[in-house]
Amino acid sequence: MEYKIEINNQEEIYDIGSVAKHAAGAALLRVKNTVVLATIARDDTPVEEDFLPLTVNYVEKSYASGRIPGGYIKRETKPGDFETLTSRIIDRSLRPLFPKGYAYPTQIVIFVLSCDPEVDLQVAALNAASAALYLSDIPVNKCVSSVRIGKIDGNLVVNPTNSELKNSSLDLYVAGTKEELLMIEMRAISSLKEDEQFVNEMNEEEMVEAINFASEKISDASGLYEQVFTPIKKEDAKLIYKASVLNEEAYQYIKENYKPNVYNALTQMAKSERAIELKKVLEAIMQDDVVLAKEWDKSTVKNALETFKHNIVREMIVKGRTRADGRGLKDVRTISIATNILPNVHGSCLFSRGQTQALAIATLGSDQDAQTYDLLTEKLPNSDKFMVNYNFPGFSVGEASPLRSPGRRELGHGNLARRALEPTICKNSPYTIRLVSEILESNGSSSMATVCGGSLALRAAGVDSKKLVAGVAMGLVFEDGDYAILTDIMGLEDHDGDMDFKVAGTKDGITALQMDIKLGGIAPEILKEALYQAKEGREYILNLMEEANDKIVINEEILPKFELFSVDTGKMVDIIGQGGKTIKEIIEKYSVSIDLNRDNGEVKLSGINRNRVDMAKEHILNIVKNSGAGRGFDRRGGSHDRDHKAKIVEFEKGAIIEGTVKRVTDFGAFIGLPGDIDGLLHISKLAEGRVDKVTDVINVGDKVKVKVLFQKGPKVELALESKE
């Protein structure tokens, strides 16, 4: 049966009961021409451990936008970054709704079956998933609604289309129920203005206004969803919930006899020392005569001690207004900053705040180093010239865990840092920038250390970013009707607190924000207070970063050289040469990359050797200067330029072309194309997964079909479609 709901600037059509009938709950949602299927499935047997075993998978199907998957394998494989980040958003928004003690393995799967390029897939996916969960037999009695808020021409807009969002200065995604907000993600969209010092950051008043606007829209939508879906909601399943494993008698005994010991352990300055002292307290309790007489096992005592520790931490903060490490509520941990400590990288910064330490490394490249990626809502591939990679090895928290590829947490933290820093990167920057954050120590808010270290690493690499960006993690503790807001939380406060609220920005405003609330709602006045307290902390950190910025010594000798100059557009054909011969010779002779804009005559040169770049520039200018000398003319006095230019074949972006493998290198292969042009097929474009050797897939002489990713003059980049 179909249910039409007009809400928040869009019509949502829910088809309930038609598909996926074996699932615990299912909803088919249509918004314009986008169709999303959300399903809930759960096992009948709970896990032994005391946690919620919830898995969320958001999956985009290529057929949804009329495509066949690119690459060697013609089916969907591992999820892309957007799919992973969307899965995280849905998980963070729905996890708080499950009943306490629920321990049944549960999976939420969202398929995008049809894609309208103007519809926000993250909003549709979460709304569909919430409907499926509410309609299921899992005892969840609240509907979650999500909205995206834009700011266009100074006005707040709810659920703008994807095209409208490109003209917005704000991208705010909020999820919540009728009564409370659960999750917030915000980014300032990079400015398109010519003023290179302009950043679309938002001040605290504007931020509160936008969040309140979103809260009103969410409350209206959630109330309407519950009104429509309650009559068709499945009867709650009869489930067994895990009872509290807390032994009240053991808890009281520890409280009465070991409170000073726990206090002493918590006030140890180092995270490792705190853990060691708490372990000693546990061992002492286990040797206690009363404990031995009561025959309490170690897990019982450990749980009671952990609960008591949790309550002591909160009591110290709310009633004592002090923290375990002795700081006041607004104090930032000790910060140290060292820049360009790695002699052979383009830019580096070691940023330490308390026991959290991030080593940020910036690497500069040219346009050909940009990351190519696909979005379901866009027909052609996109090119990303600013990348942030966050790595979290086990040793950063003292664990001997194996090194693995980045998981959801790593991708989420890297994405948050990218959103914070991207608005400060100049739109016309000649660089492709890769920023890597290696977390060397972690005791709270390593993502914000990544923002601080990353901003300075960019400056250390000579990138003229518009403003420095700092990030700070805020905490919140509610206890007995009172509350405390914490600046720069450490791991202990994150674990035992009620909110994780990360704010990043410049001295003039916020560029990125992320909030997860564990206890439920948050009052607008408390949210406003937290934002202004975060501003104080951010400004303190930025002052220290400015001092470090003034002391940066740039490694000029190892930085790649970029030259940007213009020539007469009519001379481009001479730089290229017949069949691309001249430009290929320049590239090979001087070991440079050349990008030509035939529309405006712009020439972009890049290379790792400054002298070679200068020589290549001089070579090109000589070609331009001497072009025309000795050039043939026909009897009518006409130049042969037009015939010469016509020999450069222009391929349509996305076109499928047949070619032959002419040369194989370590990094890819060169494919002979029509018009005597050799296109580059990079090793990363040979298949969906990792390819160790090019010759594992193709060899010289192979006939292949390739897709054109983009072309600039004779320079063509390709992706493998198939091999004969």
Closest CA to 485 of 473, 477, 497, 493: 477
Report pLDDT for 586.
92
More confident residue, 231 or 637: 231
Q: Is 20 helix (H, G, I), strand (E, B) or coil?
A: coil
Residue type, 685: K
In contact, 504 and 512? CB cutoff 8 Å: yes
Report pLDDT for 197.
62
Question: What is the average per-residue pLDDT within 669-674?
Answer: 87
In contact, 339 and 551? CB cutoff 8 Å: yes
Would you say residue 451 has pLDDT above 80?
A: yes
Report pLDDT for 692.
75
Question: What is the average per-residue pLDDT within 625-644?
Answer: 43
Report pLDDT for 192.
61
Report pLDDT for 196.
57
Would you say residue 629 has pLDDT above 60?
A: no
Would you say residue 592 has pLDDT above 80?
A: yes
Copy the structure tokens of residue 312.
């002591």
Report pLDDT for 682.
84
Going by C-beta distance under 8 Å and a sequence separation of 6 or more, which residues neighbour residue 479? 314, 315, 317, 318, 319
Copy the structure tokens of residue 571.
């001379």
Q: Report the relative pairing of strands 715-723 and 677-682 from DSSP bridges.
A: parallel
Report pLDDT for 134.
97
Residue 248 CA to chain centroid, in angstroms? 43
Q: How far is residue 646's CA from residue 285's CA, in Å, rounded to a whole number?
A: 87
In contact, 212 and 524? CB cutoff 8 Å: yes
Report pLDDT for 52.
92
pLDDT band (50, 70, 90) for residue 519: low
Q: Is 340 helix (H, G, I), strand (E, B) or coil?
A: coil
Question: What is the average per-residue pLDDT within 246-250?
Answer: 90
Using left for φ > 0, alpha for ψ between -120 and 50, and beta otherwise, residue 709 falls in alpha
List, for residues 426-445, the tens digit of each pLDDT value. 877 788 999 999 999 999 88
pLDDT band (50, 70, 90) for residue 640: very low
Q: How far is residue 664's CA from residue 683's CA, in Å, rounded to a whole number?
A: 10
List, for residues 46-79, the tens digit of each pLDDT value. 998 888 999 999 999 999 999 888 777 888 888 9
For the chain, the straight-line distance linking the first and the last C-alpha, in angstroms and rounded, comes to 48
pTM: 0.81
Question: What is the average per-residue pLDDT within 579-607?
Answer: 86
Report pLDDT for 632.
34
Report pLDDT for 391.
97
pLDDT band (50, 70, 90) for residue 317: very high
pLDDT band (50, 70, 90) for residue 690: confident
Would you say residue 24 has pLDDT above 60?
A: yes
Radius of gyration of the chain, Cα coordinates, nearest whole angstrom = 29
Report pLDDT for 372.
85
Copy the structure tokens of residue 361.
């490394």
**φ and ψ at 665, to 5 degrees?**
-125, 180
Instruction: Work out the mean pLDDT of the chain and round it to a whole number.
Output: 89
Would you say residue 642 has pLDDT above 60?
A: no
List, for residues 541-578, the tens digit of each pLDDT value. 999 999 999 999 998 888 888 888 888 888 888 898 88
Copy the structure tokens of residue 469.
């960006």
Copy the structure tokens of residue 279.
């372990």
**φ and ψ at 421, to 5 degrees?**
-95, -30
In contact, 459 and 437? CB cutoff 8 Å: no
Question: Which of these ranges, 17-21, 149-153, 295-299, has the smallest mean pLDDT?
Answer: 295-299
CA angle 93, 95, 96 (to 5 degrees): 85
Residue 22: half-sphere exposure toward Cβ, Cα within 13 Å: 1
List, for residues 162-204, the tens digit of each pLDDT value. 999 999 999 999 999 998 889 999 999 877 655 556 788 999 9
Using left for φ > 0, alpha for ψ between -120 and 50, and beta otherwise, residue 32 falls in left
List, for residues 205-239, the tens digit of each pLDDT value. 999 999 999 999 999 999 999 999 999 999 999 99
- State the greatest distance between any 2 C-alpha atoms of the chain, in Å, as a whole number: 115
Copy the structure tokens of residue 48.
């032994």
In contact, 503 and 510? CB cutoff 8 Å: yes
CA angle 606, 607, 608 (to 5 degrees): 145
Report pLDDT for 364.
94
Q: How far is residue 593's CA from residue 613's CA, in Å, rounded to a whole number?
A: 9
Report pLDDT for 593.
86
Nearest 10 degrees: CA dihedral of 75, 76, 80, 82? 120
Q: How far is residue 704's CA from residue 719's CA, in Å, rounded to a whole number?
A: 10
Report pLDDT for 150.
97
Would you say residue 701 has pLDDT above 70?
A: yes
How far is residue 160 from each of residues 37, 52, 76, 119, measured CA to CA in Å? 22, 34, 29, 9
